[in-house]
Amino acid sequence: MLCDICGKKEAKIYYTEIINGKKKEQHLCSDCASKNSSFLNFPQGDGNDLSLGGMLFGLLDSIGKQQNEEEIPITKCKSCGLSYEEFLKLGKFGCEDCYSSFGKVLNKNFRSIHGADTHTGKKPKGYESEMNRIVNELSEEDKLTIQLQQAIEQEEYEEAARIRDRIRELKKV
């Protein structure tokens, strides 16, 4: 099949666009696809270089661009020095800190790849969440105060009274 735009080269990309409920289907060659405004971020070339890295580049870069209007992402990872452009080109991170360095733009990227942006699976054994770590570092009295607050919020007044008495005892000591 020939390209719908130039009518000369073989169409290698089948493209469906749905805007405001209107569906538009096109068969395009890779040159026209990259020239066409809807494909600003499609990698140029003869189509043989459509590796996952290349696809990812187009996908992530377009999201990055949409976001750029609102916020400018950090351009380099503070630990390994990988730039955001390099990440887009390789489709790979340089170190664990890249995840926090490029954090702001990643959530949308992850949603487009995985349909989700939060892990719900396995955690390493003995892994302590940030929240637990903070709670564990609190003094006994502070911990009880938080528990007291929770008990009151849940209207468990007997439990609240018990906690209150323990706080009083601690204060005496």
Partner 1 sequence: MKKWYEEQSVDNDIVISSRIRLARNIKGFYFQERMNRESAIQLVNKVTGLTKDLELKENQKFYECSVNKLRDIDKASMVEYHIISPLLAEKEVETGLIVSQDESISVMVNEEDHLRIQAVASGMNMEKAFLDADRIDDFFSEKLGYVFNERYGYLTSCPTNVGTGLRASYMVFLPALNISGKIDKLAEEIGRYGAQIRGIYGEGTKGLGHIFQISNKTTLGRSEKEIIDNLEKIVDQAVLQERKRREFLLNMNGDEIEDKVYRSYGVLKYAKSINTIDALMMLSQLKLGMDEDLIKLKEPINIHKLMMEITPANLQKSLGKSIGRGERDRYRAEYINKKLPQL
Which residues of this protein are in contact with partner 1, per CB under 8 A?
Answer: 52, 56, 60, 80-82, 90-96, 98-99, 106, 109-110, 113-127, 129-130
As measured in angstroms, the least distance from the Cβ of 117 to partner 1 is 7
Give the integer Cα–Cα distance in Å for 80 and 86.
12
As measured in angstroms, the least distance from the Cβ of 157 to partner 1 is 34
Residue type present at position 169: E
Name the DSSP class of 15. E
Q: Which is nearer to partner 1, 15 or 110 (CB)?
A: 110
Q: Which is nearer to partner 1, 69 or 130 (CB)?
A: 130
As measured in angstroms, the least distance from the Cβ of 48 to partner 1 is 11
Structure tokens at 12: 């290698």
Q: Which is nearer to partner 1, 49 or 165 (CB)?
A: 49
As measured in angstroms, the least distance from the Cβ of 92 to partner 1 is 5
Phi, psi of 18 (to 5 degrees): -120, 110
As measured in angstroms, the least distance from the Cβ of 116 to partner 1 is 2
Q: Which is nearer to partner 1, 26 or 107 (CB)?
A: 107
Structure tokens at 157: 């007044």
Q: Which is nearer to partner 1, 16 or 37 (CB)?
A: 16
At 26, is the secondary structure helix, strand, or coil?
A: strand
Give the integer Cα–Cα distance in Å for 67 and 105.
7
Give the integer Cα–Cα distance in Å for 137 and 142.
10
Q: How many CB atoms lie within 10 A of CB 170?
A: 12
